[in-house]
Amino acid sequence: MIDNERYSILEKENTALKHMIKQFKNLLDSIPDPVFMKDENLRWIYGNPVILNLYSIDKDNYIGKTEDQLLPEEFAESCMESDRQAVAKGGISKSEERARGEDGEIHFYEVFKVPSHEPKTGEFKGLIGVGRDITIRKKTQEKLEVENKKRQENEQQLKELTETLELKVKARTHELNEQRLKAEYLATVDVLTQLDNRRAFYEKSNVIGQRSNRYENSYAVIILDVDIFKEVNDTYGHAAGDNVLQHLATVMKEEARTTDIVGRVGGEEFAITCPQTTLNGAQEIAKRICTSVSQSSVVFEQQLLTYTVSLGVACGSGDDTFDSIVAKADKALYEAKTTGRNCVVSEKE
């Protein structure tokens, strides 16, 4: 009687256990993600329809087999390696595995694996795993990485182009600045003699005149030109005449002071403005120029050319304008020309 009762109890418990297992299996079968179980030798003991279909595994002939017996060669080794790593870790592990879908494309799965152990001995008893399809996320990530790389390349190209453009702009700016300085130089300098041209000479001299009037300082103007310059051009040519003018410019710069304004104001006509200078001081400068020129010569085509200059000197004070001083110096120059040339004449002589 007792045995019958015990048998009945065991039968009921067995029936309940089978029902529970069936319900658990139904649950696992209904999960839309891949689910699998393996024993202590990492042999398959369960796979839900999703994973069986995913790898085209025969549902009636997979129990007790390993990955390398069930999965395509291109996926088997990586799955087995992730199993080994999960067992070695001894806890929940996450890995990325691949499978080829029905569309023929590679799909990526994020797989979580949980090893089970004997509570008392800690002996490894098996492995359960579940995965989820992350193909869209993976491809999106890869696309973002490609776009990010492309963006970085574009940014680098833009940076290089910007740097190149900046260098070109800098070079062009430098070139334009050089051209501007050259233009400014040419606008104020006589190219042949490298003295101030007429415009620059008058601008600078007017400033000296205004300052001298303001502070009641005297200043002087020397006007000079080459005697009978036309004969030099007619006899030796204009190239010789240019050499004479260049020589005269050199003499003027040597005999004038650093504060004096020296310029070429006409063809063979030159002028010097001497700030804070008396009439006697300006006469001394003019005499030195006259003497230096008469005692020197110009070499042209193996010939020695000699020439002389005439100079007129005038001094300004009070309310005299620069133009009025120039007029006085011009008058003195005319007198020097008509009284023999190669001399210095002052407005008050």
Q: What is the per-residue pLDDT across 320-329, written as a single tens digit (0 to 9) for each? A: 899 999 999 9
* Structural contact between residues 181 and 173, judged by C-beta atoms closer than 8 angstroms: no
CA angle 254, 265, 298 (to 5 degrees): 45
Mean pLDDT of 291-299: 94
CA angle 205, 207, 212 (to 5 degrees): 95
CA-based nearest residue to 285, from 339, 224, 336, 347: 224
Q: Is the pLDDT of residue 156 over 70?
A: yes
Q: Across-strand partners of 226?
A: 309
The torsion of the CA quartet 141, 147, 148, 151, rounded to 10 degrees, works out to -170
Would you state the structure tokens that stand for residue 318, as one six-digit string? 């009070």
Residue 11 is a catalytic residue = no
Task: Tell me the three state secondary structure of residue 97.
Answer: strand
Q: Is the pLDDT of residue 7 over 80?
A: no
Q: Is the pLDDT of residue 70 over 70?
A: yes
Q: Is the pLDDT of residue 155 over 80?
A: yes
Confidence of residue 318 (pLDDT cuts 50, 70, 90): low
Tell me the average pLDDT of the chain.
90
Residues 220-279 have pLDDT tens digits of 999 999 999 999 999 999 999 999 999 999 999 999 999 999 999 999 999 999 999 999
Q: Which pTM was predicted?
A: 0.55
- Residue 63's pLDDT is 93
Instruction: Name the more confident of 122 and 256.
Output: 256
Distance CA 265, CA 219 (A): 19
- Percent of residues, the chain, with pLDDT higher than 70: 98
Q: Which of 67, 97, 255, 268 is catalytic?
A: 268
For the chain, the distance separating the N- and C-terminal CA atoms, rounded to the nearest angstrom, is 167
Distance CA 229, CA 231 (A): 5
Would you state the structure tokens that stand for residue 18, as one six-digit string? 């089978």
